[in-house]
Structure 1
Amino acid sequence: MQLSKNTLTNSLPAGIQQPSDKIFSLPEKVLQFGTGVLLRGLPDYFIDKANRNGIFNGRIVVVKSTDSGGADAFDKQDNLYTLCIRGIEDGQKVEENIIASAISRVLSAKQQWQEILECANNPQLQIIISNTTEVGIQLVKESVTEGVPSSFPAKLLAVLYKRYQTFNGSAESGMVIVPTELITDNGKKLKAILLELAAYNQLEPSFINWLQQHNRFCNSLVDRIVPGKPAADILAGFETELGYKDDLLIMSEVYRLWAIEGDEKVKEVLSFAQADKGVIIADNIETFKELKLRLLNGTHTLSCGLAYLSGVGTVREGMENKALSTFISELMLNEIAPAIPYTLSANAAQDFGKQVLDRFRNPFIQHQWLSITMQYTSKLKMRTIPVLQQYYKLFNNVPQHYALGFAAYLLFTKPVKKEGEKYYGSHNGVEYHINDDKAGYFYEQWQNNAPEQVIANVLRNTELWDADLSSLAGFEEAVTEKFYDIQQQGAMASLSSLQTVK
């Protein structure tokens, strides 16, 4: 039996949280760019929970922007999917199965662009949210009035321009726009790109005034580990437990945080925040952002290549491996925590870091290290380079764990094969996709250069890092030495060597 509206009967096993019929008639209040697991496991979860409690009472129209596939899986299941929450909260084991019903429609940007634009005509639409990955919020100078724009900001501007035209620029028609992409000041940056795009498209000054005055672009931070669809054996176990098949089933940890920068008007519109303590709307969210970006994401990024090259598949398995778990905790608490480039209370970083380590140990979550390597270079720059620079300001010596993580990144991103526009690395005879915008650059670097020259070129490349990393005393030498260590004796042996040196 496949999950759909027809599945929602009393014959399902006890304990599955099901939507009531009235939820399916709620108005569409949210336009969401992205179908990814993070959006479905966090913002959509909060909205779904609020709807169940009669608070927000609105559903989500989702825009699918990627070329791969269509909206068929969602159509087949009447836009329902199961969220399986597993973990520990307040010392208690949590196992929840929720049939989420917040999504009303999923529209393909490529094939249903006019229907997406028509959403702008809906007076009850109030909110736009997005997660288009860290490379999604970028300026692409293109038309927003002819055809389907390619970039997310251009698609968003087209929708807002249509709304402005429909409602004659009324103040009430303005939107609350909450990007969740993990970049600094995501709301502020998105607004700046839209203003530049509006100027490029020569849109009228009255529209630009409406865009600035009556739309709120909120910086936001999302924090929940949502590894996505479980492995086949775990999925089979879930489907046996649930009594139905679900092609969209996802799993998440219990911990959840959506910190949103906003005023009283934003709180009023985002009323779903009342349904869960995990939504925080505040004047300033910088503390939340820095702790999460550096300690959770930064640690993930500096560990993922090293873990994969060590033959460790998941984060949980990494925490069960003595050498790797020691590396992760010492990197986080001894090198990243003291060098977060933001003023924090004395214990904030240590306390948050220890909480993150507990989350990494969650026995229910299978978070693949390989999936964390996606857009490795941009993540390394955004999440860790400011920490490295601050570490040098404070201590003026090489952070050895950081250097080992960086060396592993360089080895992981070494392409051995190119097929079309895709690049592949290899470890122990197994090829893997290097899913990184800079893979082509690395492919060129490795064609004619020895490792030490590639390392030197990469560290000096200010376009990659907005800094010359070779200027940091001893860093280039340390990274080069550790690169050869990993290459010659293996990543796991390099981890053991690091412990021995101490």
Structure 2
Amino acid sequence: MKLSEASHPRQEKHPERILQFGTGVLLRGLCDFLIDKANKDGFFKGSAVVVKSMPGGIEVFNEQDNLYTVCVRGVKSGENISKNVVCETISRVLAASTQWEEILKTAENPNMDVVISNTTEVGLKYIKESSEGIPASFPGKLTAWLLRRFKTGLPGVIIIPTELVVDNGDVLKDLILRQIEDQNLSGEFKSWIENETNFCNSLVDRIVPGKPAEDELQEIYKELGYEDHLLTKSEVYALWAIQGNEDVRKRLSFEKADDGIVVAKDITQYRELKLRMLNAPHTLMCGLCFLADFETVKEALNNDIIEKFTSNLMLSELAPAVSPKVDPKVVQRYGREIIDRFRNPYLDHKWHSITFQYTMKIQMRTIPLLTRYYEVFGNVPHYFARGVAAYLLFMKAVKTENGKYYGEHNGENYILNDDQAAWYFEAWKCNDAKELTKKALSNTDFWGMDLCSLDGFEDAVATHLRNMMMIGVKEVISALNVFA
């Protein structure tokens, strides 16, 4: 039996109040999960229309009547937590490529009050759009949707992007205003955007690795009594921090449902902690651990050498480089908590999945820490340098097939899900650690600066990369006495 309204009738059907861009596990396992809780507790009573860029994958939502299960697993206050929640937040999933007019019609719904997005960091970029046809970019699509709402004479909405970009609400607003200017849209519409539409900076923090491995999945199906092809696992910890005033808080009534939802005037601390102390180490460790033959995060953190390496990276190099606006004691405490979250025995978070858009993640999540570290200490952070060296080695594309690029490890190919894979395919033809390091670190298009200008960093990365190529990544990680 498959999960559906026949097997699991909805507790209550709610009017559509949310437009959501993205169907990924983070939105479904955190934001939609928390809204579902609010609905069931009687605080919000609204469902979400979800926009998917392409039609592929919509069938499974339709087959399950847009229901799915979140399996929450972990430890909280010394207690093992294991619960399964059927989420009822999503009302419809529409494909922008084939159902664009239907998506625009949702703007005419007076109940619509909130827009949520997670299109990854790549989604928050400018693409010149035409006022005709279906916009290519997320900001272009949102501009068209807001324009339809404006022309309908309805009030503005609260827009909450959750992409991991600093001041993501401000960034998205600037992109919308640029679309308005370049498309020669009216001054009245621009004024409506500036004065009636709230763009809220936000931060989401929950490890949601997605569907379990097949053997575990079958065990869960037996426990549940039904199959769910949208099922996902998540950790217990959940945080959705939204920057907004009292009016925003009142309108986002789902805040009352869970302590993990925070609406505050300033979310800098939440953002810096998560971005620099969870995402940055994830990014610096993913290639390193993958090439050291660890498949999952928990597997790696249960290894004494990796655990020590990660602790030193986080607490000795990353923590001191976090914004001075955040109390150092809070940073250290959060860092130790993150290491415990990484060890969560119930989650199988694959390192390879974290390498998605690896180059962009290095740039956005870690380079600010690197430059700050140099400002504070003026020397090379060697754990950091090893993470960058492993990134360069991971990006060694050895073949291309059907427009995709592949690296090779232990005789097997792995896919490079990175917009810069083609660049590395050409750059790595030199097959020389020193030459490749110089080419990559000096690429200002990647990093927004020449990383070779940081005293000693180029030499350190090149040395670590050469050693990884000669003796292996795991062996280089093990050489902790280098830093004594």
Aligned to 2:207: 225
Out of 153, 158, 163, the position equivalent to 2:144 is 158
Distance in 2 between residues matched to 1:243 and 1:138, nearest whole Å: 43
Out of 281, 299, 302, the position equivalent to 2:284 is 302
Pairwise CA distance, 1:61: 0.4
- Given that 2:405 and 2:422 are in contact with CA atoms closer than 8 Å, whether structure 1 keeps it comes out as yes
Distance in 2 between residues matched to 1:70 and 1:248, nearest whole Å: 10
Out of 103, 107, 110, the position equivalent to 1:123 is 110
| Structure 1 residues 66-105: Cα deviation after superposition (integer angstroms, max 9, x where no partner) | 46x1410000000000010000112211111011101000
* 2:164 corresponds to 1:182: yes
- Given that 1:56 and 1:271 are in contact with CA atoms closer than 8 Å, whether structure 2 keeps it comes out as yes
Aligned to 2:263: 281
* 2:58 corresponds to 1:71: yes
Q: Residue 470 of structure 1 aligns to a residue in which SS? A: helix
* 2:49 corresponds to 1:61: yes
Which residue identity lines up with residue 34 of structure 2 in the other structure?
F
Pairwise CA distance, 1:398: 0.9
Aligned to 2:453: 471
* 2:74 corresponds to 1:87: yes
Pairwise CA distance, 1:448: 4.1
Which residue identity lines up with residue 145 of structure 2 in the other structure?
V
Distance in 2 between residues matched to 1:207 and 1:70, nearest whole Å: 35
Distance in 2 between residues matched to 1:115 and 1:403, nearest whole Å: 49
Q: Residue 88 of structure 1 aligns to a residue in which SS? A: strand
Aligned to 1:494: 476
Distance in 2 between residues matched to 1:364 and 1:448, nearest whole Å: 42
Pairwise CA distance, 1:447: 2.6
Pairwise CA distance, 1:305: 0.3
- Given that 2:319 and 2:328 are in contact with CA atoms closer than 8 Å, whether structure 1 keeps it comes out as no
* 2:419 corresponds to 1:437: yes
- Percent identical pairs in the alignment equals 49
* 2:238 corresponds to 1:250: no
* 2:29 corresponds to 1:3: no
Pairwise CA distance, 1:420: 2.9
Which residue identity lines up with residue 119 of structure 1 in the other structure?
T
Which residue identity lines up with residue 186 of structure 1 in the other structure?
N
| Structure 1 residues 116-144: Cα deviation after superposition (integer angstroms, max 9, x where no partner) | 0000010000000000011001000012x
Q: Residue 280 of structure 1 aligns to a residue in which SS? A: strand
Which residue identity lines up with residue 34 of structure 1 in the other structure?
G
Pairwise CA distance, 1:500: 5.6
Normalised by the length of structure 2, the TM-score is 0.98
Aligned to 1:98: 85
Distance in 1 between residues matched to 2:152 and 2:25, nearest whole Å: 33
Distance in 2 between residues matched to 1:497 and 1:27, nearest whole Å: 58
Out of 114, 127, 149, the position equivalent to 2:101 is 114
Can you give the 5+ residue segments of structure 2 that lack an aligned partner in the other structure?
Answer: none
* 2:36 corresponds to 1:36: no
Which residue identity lines up with residue 158 of structure 1 in the other structure?
A
Pairwise CA distance, 1:6: 0.6
| Structure 1 residues 4-45: Cα deviation after superposition (integer angstroms, max 9, x where no partner) | 001027xxxxxxxxx41xx22x10000000000000001101
Distance in 2 between residues matched to 1:498 and 1:410, nearest whole Å: 20
Pairwise CA distance, 1:184: 0.8
Out of 221, 231, 251, the position equivalent to 1:239 is 221
Out of 347, 361, 371, the position equivalent to 2:353 is 371
Q: Residue 7 of structure 1 aligns to a residue in which SS? A: coil
* 2:259 corresponds to 1:271: no
Q: Residue 222 of structure 1 aligns to a residue in which SS? A: strand
Distance in 1 between residues matched to 2:128 and 2:183, nearest whole Å: 8
Matches within 5 A, 1:344-363: 344-363=326-345
Q: Residue 388 of structure 1 aligns to a residue in which SS? A: helix
Aligned to 1:148: 134
Distance in 1 between residues matched to 2:136 and 2:359, nearest whole Å: 23
Distance in 1 between residues matched to 2:103 and 2:186, nearest whole Å: 22
- Given that 2:320 and 2:328 are in contact with CA atoms closer than 8 Å, whether structure 1 keeps it comes out as no
| Structure 1 residues 444-496: Cα deviation after superposition (integer angstroms, max 9, x where no partner) | 21234633111101111111111111111111111111001111111111111
Aligned to 1:424: 406
* 2:294 corresponds to 1:312: yes
Q: Residue 230 of structure 1 aligns to a residue in which SS? A: coil
Which residue identity lines up with residue 32 of structure 1 in the other structure?
Q
Aligned pair count reads 484
Distance in 2 between residues matched to 1:235 and 1:357, nearest whole Å: 26
CA RMSD, Structure 1 to Structure 2 (Å): 1.1
- Given that 1:258 and 1:279 are in contact with CA atoms closer than 8 Å, whether structure 2 keeps it comes out as yes
Change (3 A) 1:429 1:215: same
- Given that 1:70 and 1:108 are in contact with CA atoms closer than 8 Å, whether structure 2 keeps it comes out as no
Pairwise CA distance, 1:501: 4.8
Can you give the 5+ residue segments of structure 1 that lack an aligned partner in the other structure?
Answer: 10-18
Distance in 1 between residues matched to 2:290 and 2:395, nearest whole Å: 12
Which residue identity lines up with residue 25 of structure 2 in the other structure?
V
Distance in 2 between residues matched to 1:311 and 1:428, nearest whole Å: 9
Aligned to 1:46: 34
- Given that 1:341 and 1:386 are in contact with CA atoms closer than 8 Å, whether structure 2 keeps it comes out as no
Aligned to 2:197: 215
Distance in 1 between residues matched to 2:170 and 2:326, nearest whole Å: 23
Distance in 1 between residues matched to 2:54 and 2:168, nearest whole Å: 21
| Structure 1 residues 227-284: Cα deviation after superposition (integer angstroms, max 9, x where no partner) | 0111111111110100000000000000000000001111111110100000000011
Out of 302, 325, 332, the position equivalent to 2:314 is 332
- Given that 1:87 and 1:362 are in contact with CA atoms closer than 8 Å, whether structure 2 keeps it comes out as yes
Distance in 2 between residues matched to 1:134 and 1:342, nearest whole Å: 25
Distance in 2 between residues matched to 1:35 and 1:114, nearest whole Å: 19
Q: Residue 140 of structure 1 aligns to a residue in which SS? A: coil
Matches within 5 A, 1:393-404: 393-404=375-386
Distance in 1 between residues matched to 2:483 and 2:38, nearest whole Å: 53
Change (3 A) 1:189 1:37: same
- Given that 2:434 and 2:466 are in contact with CA atoms closer than 8 Å, whether structure 1 keeps it comes out as no
| Structure 1 residues 350-385: Cα deviation after superposition (integer angstroms, max 9, x where no partner) | 000011011001100100000000011111111111
Normalised by the length of structure 1, the TM-score is 0.95
Distance in 1 between residues matched to 2:482 and 2:223, nearest whole Å: 46
- Given that 1:290 and 1:342 are in contact with CA atoms closer than 8 Å, whether structure 2 keeps it comes out as no
* 2:469 corresponds to 1:482: no
Distance in 2 between residues matched to 1:8 and 1:477, nearest whole Å: 60
Change (3 A) 1:229 1:51: same
Matches within 5 A, 1:441-456: 441-448=423-430, 450-456=432-438
Which residue identity lines up with residue 84 of structure 1 in the other structure?
C
Distance in 1 between residues matched to 2:353 and 2:389, nearest whole Å: 19
Distance in 2 between residues matched to 1:372 and 1:117, nearest whole Å: 33
